[in-house]
Amino acid sequence: MDLQVQGVGDDFQSRLQKMSLAEIEEKYGNIIRVNVDSAYIGSGYDSRYAGSKLSPKEIDAIRARYQYLKARGDQSLQQIEELQTMYANLKATDKEAIDSMNLEELTSKYSYLLSPRLGMDIPYALADPSGKAKKDYLYHRFEELMAQELID
Give the residue, 39 or 112, on which the prediction is more confident: 112
| 3-class SS letters over the chain | CCCCCCCCCHHHHHHHHHCCHHHHHHHHHHHHHHHHHHHHHCCCCCCCCCCCCCCHHHHHHHHHHHHHHHHHCCCCHHHHHHHHHHHHHCCHHHHHHHHCCCHHHHHHHCHHHHCCCCCCCHHHHHCCHHHHHHHHHHHHHHHHHHHHCCCC
Quick check: is 2 in a domain? no
Q: Give me the mean pLDDT over the 17-28 stretch.
A: 91
In whole angstroms, what is the distance from residue 131 CA to residue 119 CA?
19
3 belongs to a structural domain: no
Kindly state whether residues 84 and 66 are assigned to the same domain.
Answer: no
- Is the pLDDT reported for residue 64 higher than 90? no
Instruction: Specify whether 92 is located in the same domain as 55.
Output: no
Indicate if the pLDDT at residue 75 is higher than 80.
yes
Mean pLDDT, all residues of the chain: 84
CB burial of residue 20 (10 Å; 0-12, 13-18, 19+)? middle
Last residue of a domain, one of 72, 90, 107: 72
* Per-residue pLDDT at 2 exceeds 60: no
Predicted confidence (pLDDT) per residue in 97-118, tens digit = 999 999 999 999 999 999 888 8
Total domains in the chain come to 2
Q: What is the band of 81 on the pLDDT scale with cuts at 50, 70, 90? A: very high
What pLDDT shows up at residue 93?
Answer: 96
pLDDT the model gives residue 33? 79
In whole angstroms, give the CA distance from residue 52 to residue 74: 26
- Asked if residue 95 and residue 56 are part of one domain, the reply reads no
* 59 located within any domain: yes
Domain around 56: 10-72
pLDDT at 36: 59
Q: What is the pLDDT of residue 57?
A: 83
46 and 99 co-located in one domain: no
